[in-house]
Chain A
Amino acid sequence: MNQNLKDFYFFSDFLNRKVHHPSGQTVGRISDLVAERAEPYPMIIGLVVRPRRRKKSRRPDHRRFYLPWEKVARIEPQITLSEEELPALKTSLPEKDIILLQEEVMDKQIVDTFGAKVVRVNDLHFLRIDSHLRLIHVDVGFRGLMRRVGLERVMDRALQWLFSYDLPNQFISWKYVQLLSGSDLLQLSVSQKRLSHLHPADLADIIEDLSGRERSAIFHALDTETAAEALEEIDPKIQKALIETIPVEKASDIVEEMSPSDAADLLADLPEERAEEILGGMEQEKAEDLRELLVHPDETAGGLMTTAYLSLAPGVTVETAMARLRAEAPNLDILDYIYVVDEEEVLQGVVSIRDLLTAQSQQTLTEIQAPRVVSVKLEEDQNEVVEAFAKYGFRAIPVVDEGNRLKGVIGFRSVLEVLAPDAG
């Protein structure tokens, strides 16, 4: 492989091109390129060739064969093999970690983890380094599509003539590509790294855009924490379908990681048996919290609230409160306020994080708490809750029962879901 080589090649330069013997006789046509999965850019290690159809063979598909890249002597002006004897060239697909580019990548949907979208692959872009090709970009643009159709030149001329415009290529670096076909998602570590570029809300949008099978594949590939974060943002109907496809133990782990108010909403939508199974696999304490939340109808304050908040006794000092807040922050939904309750869980007052930051470290919470606490009752209608938020401008409002005992807290996010259920 040598003279007159370009620096860059496209997959469409290879697909269906003839492969020749050194003598010039045709061996067959290229039906696929095989790449070895390597970071960051996979290397082409061979071709799959569809042999020239002979009269006898009725099912040519079964006789496609693999040729290692080393057997290719040159690719310009025509693809020529280094040896005459075909049987010596034929080998089976290597055991290594490979990607079949035509079968798994071309024309398929992929996740562009940089732009946070699902896109369809039109072509692949290779960089030549010495005699080897590395896959560096996927082409998702209109130019790539026209190249595949065979009208790239025509389109160029037309655009030049009409608008003096050159349509640029639209490339996505392979680093940011997440495939949706089976083998790539099994590569957990790779998927993890790529999908972790995404904000959970973007990841949720992407999952919603995919078909059922791809959805569960990508969801399976996520670690528990990412899965929980994404699940919180996903449309309830799809949430339900996803949680039904995974094993109960994993579902329990994921639901445990979710914010209690989202988790309760999800469990309420599931068939009772399934919900019980999931609750059964969770930590006792979390499960009990969720069971309590599940009792309340969706449209009431009780249905909106979460149990992941911090409540402390009136005598606690600011210093201790800060320490507790810092320690529990990772598991809290409500970080803006600390609720002051007595031994009977009766709500005494509320301390905002601002109060906490501006107070002396030895003051007790009773000394700095707001004199009047705004709260809502468990069975209050959700619209009343929204009104309370609008009126007082709080970021969270506590929920109490008839005895004024603190049962949960409604965060601002839950209110947004009531107001704009279809947004995001």
Chain B
Amino acid sequence: MRMEKDYGKWVSASRRSLWRTVGLFFILMGPGIITSNVDNDAGGITTYSLAGAQFGLKLIWSLIPIMIALIVIQEMCARMGVVTGKGLSGLIREKFGAKITFYLVVGMFLTNMGNVISEFAGAAAGMEVFGVNKFISVPLSAFLVWWMVVKGTYKSVEKAFLIACVFYLSYIVTGIIVKPDWEKVVEHFLNPQLSLNPSEMTMVIGLVGTTIAPWMQFYLQASIVEKGIKVDEYKFARFDVVLGSVIVHIVAFFIILVCAETLFKNGIQIETAKDAALSLKPLAGKYCTYLFAFGLVNASLFAASILPLSTTYLICEALGWEAGIDKKFVEAPQFYGFYSLMIFLGAGIILYPNLPLIPIMYFSQVINGMVLPIVLIFMLLLINDKKLMMQYTNGPIFNTIAWVTSIVIIGFTLFLFIGMI
């Protein structure tokens, strides 16, 4: 803490504006990069692996429009957090009232609970590649996640998370190990192709769905608020958000690349990220498998620490319960209750024999599809509220982009949603 303070002083005293800017960015970075990276969770890695294995590099161009959409939406959350100093669920409650907020919160709880289960499933699958039984890995992960948040402070937790972000490099390393044909890769970006083949459409929609999830908006805004970023420092927060969105898509790109160069070329069909990791062994060597599995474990644990926390914060803020890891149990019983429930239920369900994982995921995706449109529309209404945002509402051009993006995403989500029912 002391060091950080001195560092802050050094930055503010620094005369050279470039260094000052860079220094300020390092102090203020975090929320955007962390949120985006958590986005590449167990579900994300699975979807990217499937996209690569089934369609090769064909769909890789879609990462660019998805990235732009992610930036547009996240930027609005970051701005709302900086300007209002309140979390998204609090703003929704204050503007839209108790009733709809209550149902939204119930929906968020259910869909995030499904996500938490899939994170623990991802951690278990990744560890199985290393030969660790799930009855050891899952309780251990659950405890680790719970302990880190309950015993840590915001600063130490954020640092641990930023380190977790670095481990995503393992996918980039794997991507380089498999020696892709770079010319072909560039060509696929320059000549995007999409046939109206239903399975391809579904995959693109799946990619959108896994990248833009409702919990991210809540988490990003809450961590911006927690960090206490001021309006005049906003440009750093915005850069953080953009950088995070770019990084997450670079990682996604490499995952698709690895699977396309190995599994797709050899016509190997997979169903899960673990399949992908194991199938890499004969094609690209055991280190590739280990790196891929390690990335999966890292991503799953990372998301498993953030999702329950973010969900609990948003529930407490919306319903007016005390929240915060610096509070004692008696001061914030609902906060600790929900947090522990999500972790131990999530981990416990994985240990249940013959678990019907597919229906659970399915249910969670359906609710996700119902919640996301509401959240996006609420966000757009909030950010254009003059009384709330003062001069920081959307400009006409940005507003058009934001509405179009949101409507396209809502369309895709509903498409997926209807397809599932």
| A residues near B103, Cβ cutoff 8 Å | 149
The stretch of A75-83, A92-100, A117-125, A401-409 in contact with B is A117-125
B12 interface residue (CB < 8 Å to A): yes
Q: How many residues of A contact B (CB 8 A)?
A: 27
The answer to whether B94 touches A145, judged by C-beta atoms less than 8 angstroms apart, is: no
The answer to whether B85 touches A120, judged by C-beta atoms less than 8 angstroms apart, is: no
The answer to whether B94 touches A108, judged by C-beta atoms less than 8 angstroms apart, is: yes
**CB-nearest residue of chain A to B230:** A241
Q: Which of A106, A238, A271 contacts B12 (CB 8 A)?
A: A271
| B residues near A210, Cβ cutoff 8 Å | 85
Q: Provided the pairs A117-B322, A145-B319 are in contact, do residues A107 and B97 lie with their beta carbons within 8 angstroms? A: yes
- Kindly provide the distance from the CB of B388 to the nearest chain A CB, expressed in whole angstroms: 10
The answer to whether B84 touches A122, judged by C-beta atoms less than 8 angstroms apart, is: no
Label chain B's interface by main secondary structure.
helix
| A residues near B2, Cβ cutoff 8 Å | 299
| A residues near B353, Cβ cutoff 8 Å | none
B153 interface residue (CB < 8 Å to A): yes
| A119→B90 CA distance, assembly (Å) | 12
Q: How many residues of B contact A (CB 8 A)?
A: 23
B396 interface residue (CB < 8 Å to A): no
| B residues near A140, Cβ cutoff 8 Å | 320
| A residues near B101, Cβ cutoff 8 Å | 107
Q: Provided the pairs A120-B319, A140-B320 are in contact, do residues A107 and B94 lie with their beta carbons within 8 angstroms? A: yes
Number of A-B contacts (CB under 8 A): 53
The answer to whether A145 touches B98, judged by C-beta atoms less than 8 angstroms apart, is: yes
B366 interface residue (CB < 8 Å to A): no
- Kindly provide the distance from the CB of B254 to the nearest chain A CB, expressed in whole angstroms: 38
| A145→B319 CA distance, assembly (Å) | 8
Q: Residue-by-residue, is A202-225 near B (CB-CB < 8 Å gives 1, otherwise 0)?
A: 000000001111110000000000
| A271→B102 CA distance, assembly (Å) | 44
Q: Which of A119, A121, A214, A237 contacts B228 (CB 8 A)?
A: A237
- Kindly provide the distance from the CB of B107 to the nearest chain A CB, expressed in whole angstroms: 13
| B residues near A150, Cβ cutoff 8 Å | 99
Give me the interface of B with A, judged by CB distance under 8 Å: 1-2, 12, 84-86, 90, 93-94, 97-99, 101-103, 153, 225, 228, 230, 319-320, 322, 326
Q: List 29 A-B contacts (CB under 8 A).
A: A106-B97, A107-B93, A107-B94, A107-B97, A107-B98, A108-B94, A109-B90, A117-B322, A120-B319, A120-B320, A121-B320, A122-B98, A122-B320, A140-B320, A145-B319, A145-B320, A148-B98, A149-B99, A149-B102, A210-B85, A211-B84, A211-B86, A211-B225, A212-B228, A214-B85, A238-B228, A271-B12, A299-B2, A422-B326
Extra contacts besides A148-B97, A214-B85, A237-B228 (16): CB < 8 Å: A107-B93, A107-B101, A109-B320, A120-B93, A122-B98, A140-B320, A145-B98, A148-B99, A148-B102, A149-B98, A150-B99, A211-B85, A211-B225, A212-B85, A241-B228, A299-B2
